[in-house]
Amino acid sequence: MDIKISSQQILRVLLVLCWIIFIGVCIDAGGFLVSSIYWSFVKPNADGFFWNKLPMLSLYQYDKGHFMAICLLICIVAVIKASIFYRIIVLLQENKLNMAKPFTREVGSFLFLTAWLTIMVGFFCSYAGKYVGQLTSKGIPMSGMKEMGLAGSDVWFFMGATLLVIGFIFKRGIELQAENDLTI
């Protein structure tokens, strides 16, 4: 008995997975954003916990400027992650990925923009890591980078560089496919 899975079935499964991840990342980004606004303009929670049970009260009491900077970095990273998955959903749902002729301008522009977005996530995570390191060296107790959703800047840089290489390969494939279409 031989089980055959078509590429269309795999793309449908990936679309469902991307929707699940996108919804989760949007909830996370919205939670950080609402908690940041609430803590900044209304009042911090009495128990001192931020979104996802992050202990942020000591940072808030130390300096509201540092608190806002950390919140801004967390929100920027979460929103960029959500936009990456939104772009994947749009690519898969609008059937812009044609397996018969995969080298299209839409896929090429998707790869380049997604590569730059992942590099931006890596940059903001790296900057946040240095910023949190400076704050902890001043004696402010901080959550870990993983708990704040800012860990793995090296992975994001690597993924962005890989997508850029694939984007350049696709760019060359688009040129060859256009050249091939002209000769026929």
The model's pLDDT over 158-177, given as tens digits with 9 standing for 90+, comes to 999 999 999 999 889 888 88
pTM recorded for the entire structure = 0.84
pLDDT tens-digit map of 57-80: 777 778 888 888 888 898 899 999
Q: Which residues pair with 49 in a beta bridge?
A: 55
**Mean pLDDT across the stretch 73-95?**
91
State the amino acid at position 39 in one-letter form. Answer: W
Residue ranges of domains in the chain: 7-183
Q: Specify the range with the lowest mean pLDDT, choosing from 8-12, 43-47, 125-129, 151-155.
A: 43-47
Predicted confidence at residue 16, as pLDDT, reads 93
Average the pLDDT over 85-111 and give the result.
85
Look at 51-55, 148-152, 159-163 and tell me which has the smallest mean pLDDT. Answer: 51-55
Q: What is the DSSP string of 31-96?
A: HHHHHHHHHHHT---TT-B-GGG-B-HHHHHH-HHHHHHHHHHHHHHHHHHHHHHHHHHHHHHTT-
Token output for 50: 């931020």
Cα distance between residue 14 and residue 168, in whole Å: 24
pLDDT at residue 47 is higher than 60: no
pLDDT given for residue 137 in this prediction:
87
